[in-house]
Amino acid sequence: MTFEPRGLSPDRSARDLFGAEVRRHREKANMSLRRLAEVLNYSKSHLARIETAESLPYDDLPAKLDACFGTDGLFACLHALARKEPFPGKYRRVMEIESRAAVIETYVSATVHGLLQTPETAERWLRCGHPYAPDAEIEAMVKARIDRQKRLNAPKPPRCWFILDEAVLRRSVGGPEVMHHQMLSLIERGTAPHITLQVLPYTAGEHPEPGGALNLYTVPDEPLVAYVEGSQAGTIIEDRDAVARRRENYDLLRAMALSPRDSEAMIRAAMEDWTPCEPPRT
């Protein structure tokens, strides 16, 4: 069977354009990925991820590419643009929808929603999901995630409704200190008049959204949009009937969850459970 390289979408983002230009110049020079990796003294697997926009290059690669292909700063310029893009192309549209939403309703089953994560929690989850990413890339992704939260403190913030699965309070992410800080942050966020937090307890039993995350976005003068996300992929849903089913599912989750007051009590109890132990005195 003949190997077919993965298709590229250079018009989707600067990151995609960077990868497409690497492949175009490599193929124009009649070079394989292996040969280019040898010439640049660079990881072949990382080059493959760069070509398909799955990863950003290390800072020294653009200059090496420009020298290799004689492109007079092309890759340096594209890299500068790509680094300014906080989200890969596949997430950019949902982030754009989120930025315009007047009402944001979410349920997450495995982790704290990105709009509520502390920097420490965000770093732990991003490092877990991108184990081979360099520190600079992780730092950029953490900053992008935390920057999203600025809308919650804006003069006219969106009305937000967050439903957290009880598992979010029990699964250790980063250890007791990180978890304690995250629980405290949730309690503080929940005091804002435009934010409602509810916990879906284990005792609620089975429910219609058992895995991943469900987000509903109400944008003024536009139809309701749903976004469902698993561990490896996310899908924007705009079909009216499909969105209506997600709306019904979310309303059921809201009815099954604890009240905001009881939810705060559960979060406070979890925070106490995650209180870091003091080292023994010597």
User: Mean pLDDT over residues 53-77, rounded?
Assistant: 88
Give the structural domain span for 219: 89-273
Rounded distance between C-alpha atoms, residue 49 and residue 40, angstroms: 15
The answer on 269 and 135 residing in a single domain is: yes
Banded model confidence at residue 263, pLDDT cuts 50, 70, 90: very high
What percent of the chain lies above the pLDDT cut of 70? Answer: 91
The answer on 94 and 41 residing in a single domain is: no
Mean pLDDT, the chain, whole residue set = 88
Question: CA nearest 126: which of 86, 162, 82?
Answer: 86
- Beta strands per DSSP E along the chain: 103-108, 159-165, 195-200, 213-218, 225-229, 234-237
Which of the two residues, 258 and 211, has the higher pLDDT score?
A: 258
The answer on 122 and 24 residing in a single domain is: no
Total domains, the chain: 2
Rounded distance between C-alpha atoms, residue 57 and residue 45, angstroms: 12
**Residue-wise pLDDT tens digits, 217-245:** 999 988 899 999 876 667 888 888 999 99
3 state DSSP class of 171:
coil
Q: pTM to 2 decimals?
A: 0.69
Task: Tell me whether residue 6 is in a domain.
Answer: no
User: Mean pLDDT over residues 189-209, rounded?
Assistant: 94
Task: Tell me whether residue 150 is in a domain.
Answer: yes
- CATH number (domain holding residue 71): 1.10.260.40
The answer on 61 and 145 residing in a single domain is: no
Assess contact for 172 and 217: CB atoms under 8 A: no
The answer on 198 and 226 residing in a single domain is: yes
pLDDT of residue 166: 96
User: Mean pLDDT over residues 49-58, rounded?
Assistant: 79
The answer on 117 and 244 residing in a single domain is: yes
Banded model confidence at residue 13, pLDDT cuts 50, 70, 90: confident
pLDDT of residue 2: 44
Task: Tell me whether residue 7 is in a domain.
Answer: no
Q: Is 3 a residue whose pLDDT tops 50? A: no
Rounded distance between C-alpha atoms, residue 75 and residue 42, angstroms: 16
**Residue-wise pLDDT tens digits, 144-171:** 889 999 999 999 999 999 999 999 999 9
**Residue-wise pLDDT tens digits, 75-124:** 999 988 877 666 665 577 788 889 899 999 999 988 999 999 999 999 99
The answer on 258 and 123 residing in a single domain is: yes
Task: Tell me whether residue 247 is in a domain.
Answer: yes
Instruction: Among 83, 109, 126, identify where a domain stops.
Output: 83
Which of the two residues, 17 and 232, has the higher pLDDT score?
A: 17
Task: Tell me whether residue 281 is in a domain.
Answer: no
Instruction: Among 83, 114, 138, identify where a domain stops.
Output: 83
The answer on 241 and 118 residing in a single domain is: yes
